[in-house]
Amino acid sequence: MTTENEAREAVYKRFVDNWGGASPYVFENEKFQADPAADWVRLSFRNTNSNQGTLGATGNKRYERDASIFLQIFTLVNTGTKNIDTLVRTFRSIFEGTRFSGVAVNNVVSREGKEDGKFKQTTVEAFSQYFETK
């Protein structure tokens, strides 16, 4: 059984254990003061869909939960794409095609974003699934 909080914590732990010094990072809705002269990333976990997979008595119903793991990459403008590509690759190597702590991650897709004058944002999304029995 994996609850929403357990899945989120497993994702955060896997990220922290494997991200190393690739860049400073923050989790969604946590206080963070970005260095205005350095690249940084923000990790988020969001549920996207839920289906009841089995019928049965309370305690035996299996729910299939879909979620997305988002990495927002903020790189300084006018510095090219090499560091963006490196951070995307690092994220893919951590999550793509993996199973850990009740979470299964399938495809990972990156999307180029816009510039805000200081940073260029790229978003990477990993599609995941976990199961809860209740």
Q: How far is CA 59 from CA 3, 39, 62, in A?
A: 13, 46, 9
Domains and CATH numbers, the chain: 4-133 (3.30.2000.20)
- As a whole number of Å, the end-to-end CA separation of the chain is 8
Among 13, 5, 6, 40, smallest CA distance to 26 is for 40
Q: Which residues of the chain have pLDDT under 70?
A: 1
- Measured from the Cβ of residue 77, the count of other Cβ atoms closer than 10 Å reads 10
Q: What is the pLDDT of residue 101?
A: 96
Q: What is the pLDDT of residue 56?
A: 81
Q: What is the pLDDT of residue 72?
A: 97
Q: What is the pLDDT of residue 1?
A: 64
